[in-house]
Structure 1
Amino acid sequence: MLLHGTDALTAAARESTAIPGFVAYNLETVQAVVAAAETSGRPVLLQAGSSAFKHAGREALMALALDTARRSTARIGVHLDHSRDLAEIAACIDAGYTSVMIDGSHLPFAQNVALTRTAVAMAHEAGVWAEAELGALAGDEDVSTGATAAGGSMTDPDQAAEFTAATGIDALAVAVGNVHGFTAEPVRLDLDRLAAIRDAVPVPLVLHGASGLPEEQLLGALRRGVAKVNVNAELRRAYLTAVESALPSALPGSDTVATWAAARDAVTAAALRITERLATAARPV
């Protein structure tokens, strides 16, 4: 049952909860995210995006994500994460994705605005909502490198207001000290900056790089307008840890099915834990 529109996102912002955006790379991770959504009864976003396409192939992963979500009884949006390619965005919209993210954060401000405005127009014409990013996160989307927030650039609240008004986006991904992947030291978000951004823009905020974020930092973000939280590294770690544990008994008989099943179950458990964590209402600040 595909989750269309921004009602769930705006409801999460109003309630100081958040919808998880779970990155999926293959059959097992897609199935795991959907299973977690069915168990929790909460809306989730299944993010089959640009980096995952490099592994699985765009057409194959798009079809897998959409078909699995449509067959589910859960409320699941299928989201294109971190795309820099308008042709890729068009292909995902045509395939049936319910939301897309255009990432022009690497560009100068005016070019980011122009690229984002074009992507938003494409999305809205098809009834799809659009996310964009202002500011830059340190780290790698697909590999934890021990990065620190110092490698990125923070989102400016006044510029965020200008960007949102100029582009018509439905959600804004921000850089407030968050980092892609796990870090050597605990991440400390600039919660005052986050609150200022919330007060400056009329759309829900998105926090990328939430894996391993301390509890008080996560709750602080939910209290300050974050209504979508992207999770990737925690799921990758759950998957690989399960594979590592399963291998000693699986290798003698080359039991790949048991290994894949263990990985899928571990990702389901991690996604369910995160979904329930984000569903806990936090008093707004």
Structure 2
Amino acid sequence: MPLTTTGELIARAARLRTAVAAFNIITLEHIEAVVTGAETAGAPVVLQVSQNAVKFRGGRLGPLARAAVTAAEQAHIPVALHLDHVQSDDLLRQAPDAGFSSVMYDAARLPYAENLTATQAAADWAHAQGLWIEAELGQIGGKDGRPPLDAHAPGARTDPAEARDFVARTGVDALAVAIGSAHAMTTRTAALDHALLKRLSAELAVPLVLHGSSGVPDDELAEAVEGGIGKVNVGTALNAALTRALRDHLGRHPEAVDPRAYLATGRTAMTDEVTRIIRVLDRAGVSPS
């Protein structure tokens, strides 16, 4: 079916009192796994390409984006494309022509005033192109090999009053909030600050986004959706499933040289993880229609 937009999927999720699952993709196998897993769950999905994934692909957005667009158009469920954790203005400006309906502009590493100025400029440009834009306030941590921040470190949590000011002044369409998750977690041990999430949800009229969801246990994730999270980003969980399957297959078949056999096991493992996570999110809302 035709590409849908991230904004439309999040609006739909709000009506169903659930959240949109957004999965980061790196390879064609990731794309196929996400679409097939979402079809199995009977739910729409967002395919996300991060700036790091573009860097991995030689700095070229086009090939992976075209594969994602083609997969979305052949899918039996609605699929949107989202450009994730963009820090490069040059990459930001490639989004519309590459099929992306939304972008996450990441200036959270900067001091508040600089984050606000940079994000406001990005939002103005994105809206002029018809793009839905997400930003981040507070440091979710764990990205690019950096350790997660201590829960009490300055900036490790999103301040509700600051968030209200930030959203009002930048005009962003959604906000990624720091409530205790971290990027690149390989254990599901994150404890979310649900009281803070409740305060943020009460303060802000825009959808809230949870990054670093791979490290969040199922019950915590479902509670976060009930508490106001409207978009859930997942990346490491798929990579971990892929890697486990490949290690297992190659350990049992050390003679293997044809990548189709072991990549198929990895793709299946990722597919199962996609379906599982979407069902966790749907458990917090009502059945998709």
The two structures have a TM-score, normalised by structure 2, of 0.90
Confirm whether residue 166 of structure 1 aligns to residue 134 of structure 2.
no
Q: Quote the offset at 1:282 in angstroms.
A: 4.9
- Distance in 2, Cα, partners of 1:185 & 1:178: 10
Counterpart residue number, 2:240: 237
Q: Quote the offset at 1:260 in angstroms.
A: 0.8
Q: Quote the offset at 1:158 in angstroms.
A: 0.4
What CA deviation, in whole Å up to 9, does each residue of 1:144-185 have, x standing for no partner? x87464366110000110111111111100001111122668
Counterpart residue number, 2:51: 50
Confirm whether residue 208 of structure 1 aligns to residue 216 of structure 2.
no
Q: How does 1:1-285 map to 2 (within 5 A)?
A: 1-4=2-5, 6-57=7-58, 58-140=61-143, 147=148, 149-150=150-151, 153-182=156-185, 186-282=189-285
Give the counterpart letter for 1:38 in structure 2: E
- Distance in 2, Cα, partners of 1:278 & 1:40: 11
| Bigger mean CA deviation after superposition, 150-159 or 192-201 | 150-159
Residues 73/112 of structure 1: CA separation in 2 closer, same or farther (3 Å cut):
same
Which structure 1 residue ranges, 5 or more long, are not aligned?
A: none
C-alpha contact (below 8 Å) 1:37/1:75 kept by paired residues: no
Residues 206/185 of structure 1: CA separation in 2 closer, same or farther (3 Å cut):
closer
C-alpha contact (below 8 Å) 1:37/1:76 kept by paired residues: no
- Distance in 1, Cα, partners of 2:162 & 2:281: 28
- Distance in 1, Cα, partners of 2:13 & 2:40: 19
C-alpha contact (below 8 Å) 2:182/2:215 kept by paired residues: no
Give the counterpart letter for 1:10 in structure 2: A
| Bigger mean CA deviation after superposition, 92-101 or 233-242 | 92-101
Q: Quote the offset at 1:212 in angstroms.
A: 3.1
Give the counterpart letter for 2:42 in structure 1: G
C-alpha contact (below 8 Å) 2:186/2:214 kept by paired residues: no
What CA deviation, in whole Å up to 9, does each residue of 1:83-133 have, x standing for no partner? 111210110222120110001101111211121122222222222211100
Q: Quote the offset at 1:216 in angstroms.
A: 2.8
Aligned residues: CA RMSD:
2.0
- Distance in 2, Cα, partners of 1:217 & 1:253: 40
What CA deviation, in whole Å up to 9, does each residue of 1:13-69 have, x standing for no partner? 343311111011011111111111222221111011211112224222122222222
What CA deviation, in whole Å up to 9, does each residue of 1:225-283 have, x standing for no partner? 10101111111110000101111354414121101111111101101111111112359
C-alpha contact (below 8 Å) 2:223/2:284 kept by paired residues: no
- Distance in 2, Cα, partners of 1:10 & 1:275: 17
Which structure 2 residue ranges, 5 or more long, are not aligned?
A: none
Residues 31/116 of structure 1: CA separation in 2 closer, same or farther (3 Å cut):
same
**Percentage of matched positions with identical amino acids:** 38
C-alpha contact (below 8 Å) 1:34/1:68 kept by paired residues: yes
C-alpha contact (below 8 Å) 1:42/1:275 kept by paired residues: yes
